Chain A
């Protein structure tokens, strides 16, 4: 039995429990933060060391620590580290329950890691619930009216989404008699999805359940309120890690279990949802005055771009191994999006901590009050828009390139128009930051840890533009490991 493949998860779960217990006896809570970050770094190191090992199956294929899972394990852990580094600047608001805060973050990382590695519907569902329940509590962590409302909304809508997902899984189990993805793939009835209404219903329900996680239209209604009410650190974490976990599980389930005849059909469904998602997210984001709500709608739009990668998962005959353009582009985009979005949120945490306001108008003149943080915010927003010299540009280029290869030119057109729309609201924040009149001349204090996290995010955003090939290779291997067996 390959128990060593589970070391990252065991390490984080053990640390989570240790943090809860140590919280009772330790007065200096900084130690708990250090321990959590250390455990996450250890998880990254061990995961990276397991890259490309010959026999990745755990528990007889219930879980698989392949390159795909390892990429996401590193992504989730990295996102959690950046979020925990910024927590010190936010900690006054959650001082009473610091230990629980760190433990819940760690537990949600474990849940997401297992989501990315699971190859069985029951395990996927239980991992997803572990993630969700930790996040419900984290969203309501501030316990003020807004945060509580956000937590309650997230819980209720999340529970409905889980119920829909379970119904879909139950239907798929009823049709195929299997819960393992590989065996479902063998048992899915031949023919297009439209010939089999029950299969269509099961797949649609599963798209609905997972769609809630990635926040795509029409399952996005929770996003603005939850993003606004949640502690900003948790919002940053939600917008990156939770979304990435959703995409990981969608790629795994749909490529491994539904990679047969019905692949073009669900790819079409994702194409339509993606196009709507980009448009709705970007258009509504324009009218937002609260920066967290704006980034909420922006994240809906980003989910739309990411779904181009799902739409382009179809086979292309004859060409030289183009099949993986879609999944590879998606994985690469997720890496770039994670850095840029986390960077933007970290800068916003620093600024809003000083101004005590999430209104975009209160960013006026920050360029003179906090030039470095403003510069970082500008860089990350430019990356989210998809303009060089940032990683976001290459990520979009790669995804749209995949779409062109798969005769989805209409999606590219929609995507490019949407990028232009998104430039308006992203750059409005930039304009406000640099050309607005500052309300005071006071600087913006920030901790060393926050500046480190911001520097890492910005360095990544720049480095991936000038030197993308390492991450591209990793993304290609990851996509190959999940889709290679299914797609010739």
Chain B
């Protein structure tokens, strides 16, 4: 029961801050709201017993992504000038609302397989097994390593002066 209350508070926080990201006039404020939204998502993971996912969410999104985001904003534009005006604002709103309608509609009508037993959630230990076991995703893990190599090499090539 208390988990239900926590879920609804966190859900309201997420939706509220997500809306604030869109409507904030100052792009820097939008970034800060986004960080709060990330926190809310991490909180929802905790209520679902997905502790590992919550920790990764905090580490990656709040720790790394948000810093990168703020760096990007500070280096490329003057935050006090506000968000750039878009010519496509109205079409974007229409398309986004239509997509939201379709997605909410199809998700509500779908017959989801649910369980009330949150202990079924995979523990950190099992995730380690999944990631590094021969029958799990160890190959995928290695490919991700190659992907990071490609990203680093590519970034150096593009950024370095002749």
Q: Which residues of A are interface residues toward B (Cβ below 8 A)?
A: 1, 13, 16-17, 20, 58-60, 62-63, 96-97, 100, 103-104, 107-108, 110-111, 114, 120, 122-123, 126-127, 129-130, 133-134, 136-138, 140-141, 143, 148, 151, 174-175, 177, 196-198, 200-201
Point out which of B113, B140, B149 has the most chain A C-beta atoms below 10 A from its C-beta. Answer: B140
* A130 and B147 in contact, given A59-B134, A59-B139 (Cβ under 8 angstroms): yes
Q: How far is the CA of A123 from the CA of B109 in the complex (A)?
A: 30
As a 0/1 sequence over residues 124 to 150 of chain B, the CB contacts with chain A under 8 angstroms (1 = contact) are 000000000011011110011011011
Q: Which residues of A contact B139 (CB under 8 A)?
A: 58-59, 62-63, 123
4 A-B pairs closest in CB distance: A137-B154, A197-B106, A130-B147, A198-B110
Q: How far is the CA of A140 from the CA of B153 in the complex (A)?
A: 13
B151 lies within 8 A of A133 (CB): yes
Q: Which residues of A contact B150 (CB under 8 A)?
A: 104, 107-108, 111, 130, 133-134, 137
Q: Can you give 13 contacting A-B residue pairs, CB < 8 Å? A: A60-B134, A62-B137, A62-B139, A103-B153, A104-B154, A107-B146, A110-B146, A111-B146, A122-B140, A129-B147, A130-B146, A134-B150, A143-B158
Point out which of B134, B150, B162 has the most chain A C-beta atoms below 10 A from its C-beta. Answer: B150
- A460 CB to closest chain B CB (Å) equals 29
Select one of A1, A111, A123 contacting B137, CB under 8 A: A123
Question: Which residue of A has the minimal Cβ distance to B159?
Answer: A143
Task: Contacts A133-B151, A148-B158 known; list 6 others, CB within 8 Å.
Answer: A62-B137, A130-B146, A133-B150, A141-B158, A174-B112, A201-B102
A137 lies within 8 A of B158 (CB): yes
Select one of B109, B110, B153, B160 contacting A104, CB under 8 A: B153
Main secondary structure of the interface of A (DSSP, over half): helix
A123 lies within 8 A of B140 (CB): yes
Question: Which residue of A has the minimal Cβ distance to B144?
Answer: A126
Q: How far is the CA of A60 from the CA of B134 in the complex (A)?
A: 8
Question: Which residue of A has the minimal Cβ distance to B139?
Answer: A59
Q: Which residues of B contact A104 (CB under 8 A)?
A: 150, 153-154, 157
B110 lies within 8 A of A120 (CB): no
Range class of the B interface residue count: 20 to 34
Q: How far is the CA of A248 from the CA of B105 in the complex (A)?
A: 33
Q: How far is the CA of A7 from the CA of B113 in the complex (A)?
A: 41
Q: How far is the CA of A107 from the CA of B144 in the complex (A)?
A: 12
B103 lies within 8 A of A201 (CB): yes
Question: Which residue of B has the minimal Cβ distance to A6?
Answer: B139
Q: How far is the CA of A354 from the CA of B118 in the complex (A)?
A: 68
A197 lies within 8 A of B158 (CB): no
B107 within 8 A of A: yes
* A1 and B134 in contact, given A107-B149, A110-B146 (Cβ under 8 angstroms): yes
B85 within 8 A of A: no
B158 lies within 8 A of A123 (CB): no
B138 lies within 8 A of A59 (CB): yes
B155 within 8 A of A: yes
B93 within 8 A of A: no
- B64 CB to closest chain A CB (Å) equals 16
Q: How far is the CA of A138 from the CA of B156 in the complex (A)?
A: 12
* A137 and B155 in contact, given A59-B134, A60-B135 (Cβ under 8 angstroms): yes
Q: How far is the CA of A174 from the CA of B144 in the complex (A)?
A: 23
- A177 CB to closest chain B CB (Å) equals 7
Q: How far is the CA of A108 from the CA of B103 in the complex (A)?
A: 34
Q: How far is the CA of A126 from the CA of B140 in the complex (A)?
A: 7
Select one of A60, A123, A133 contacting B154, CB under 8 A: A133
A126 lies within 8 A of B106 (CB): no
A137 lies within 8 A of B143 (CB): no
B143 lies within 8 A of A20 (CB): no
B143 lies within 8 A of A126 (CB): yes
